[in-house]
Amino acid sequence: MGKSERRREPPPVPEALPAPAVDAHTHLDACGARTPEDVRALVDRAERAGIERVVTVADDIAAARWATEAASWDDRVFAAVALHPTRAGDLGEAQRSELAELVTRPRVVAVGETGLDYYWDYATPQDQQEAFRWHIDLAKRTGMPLMIHDRDAHQDILDVLRSEGAPETVVFHCFSGDEVFAKTCADAGYVLSFAGTATFRNAAGVREAARIVPVEQMLVETDAPFLTPHPFRGQPNEPYCANYTLRALAELRGADPAELAAATTATAERTFRFDRV
């Protein structure tokens, strides 16, 4: 099989983890799911790898509607709803009203993903910060965790959180900072979620952050279909690939995979309060 053919092939479903784990951030719709049968197939594969629950995350209004519906199709699926920072310019009154309603739906466990993204220029920093502030308020009004997208915007993210007052629970999805930023976030009580980037050889800062963050403030995610972990980088990603990332994180931290799976699952349960929905 040639290199281009391999890139189209998904990684093999690995042997199940020695303890159940959670994919704290995925996009089942972007993985190709449309129907209840599609969702079931994705989470069946994840469960075979020991990933027994997933949080499917919205990035626009259509995705938010779909995520809340998909979470009702399978009891292993939960949802998070928000408008992605690259779509912040679309956050009008109608969108605010609908998101405020969607976040109250059964099996919605977070406001996300929201935040700041200065890598792309689809929305101005001003529009992004205004939308971020609105989502922070929504999380505080509803008692929901806030799931943050942070790309090239570390300091502004912290500044907005400080000026607005952070919700009780804040999750930095796909943590992209270094050890210093990780310590700042951990000291503030925030939760850091690590994706396949923590397995990349050229991501030394993220890897060091993953090594030192307290395990009680650590989550594992895929951000599927993006960021497939090493050695499958560039191939299609799915929730089952959280298995590979968790094993790599355990090796990085010198931890037993079963203990890390149990610890990050406990963090997910405290963060998202699955038992309340």
The strand pair at 170-172 and 191-194 is best described as parallel
- Count, residues in the chain: 277
Task: Please check if 223 is assigned to a binding site.
Answer: yes
What are the distances in angstroms from CA 37 to CA 9, 74, 120? 21, 10, 34
Quick one: how far is CA 111 from the chain centroid? 11
Would you call 35 helix, strand, or coil by DSSP? coil
DSSP conformation letters of 169-192 = -EEETT----HHHHHHHHHTT-EE
What are the distances in angstroms from CA 193 to CA 148, 149, 230? 10, 11, 17
Task: Please check if 37 is assigned to a binding site.
Answer: no
- Rounded Cα distance, 253 and 79, in Å: 29
- Rounded Cα distance, 26 and 235, in Å: 16
Task: Please check if 27 is assigned to a binding site.
Answer: yes
Task: Please check if 230 is assigned to a binding site.
Answer: no
Q: Is 136 exposed, middle or buried (0-12, 13-18, 19+ CB in 10 A)?
A: buried
Task: Please check if 173 is assigned to a binding site.
Answer: yes
DSSP conformation letters of 194-235 = E-GGGG-TT-HHHHHHHHHS-GGGEEE---TTS-PPTTSTTS
- Rounded Cα distance, 203 and 182, in Å: 14
> Which residues are annotated binding-site positions?
25, 27, 113, 149, 173, 223
> Which residues are annotated binding-site positions for a divalent metal cation?
25, 27, 113, 149, 173, 223
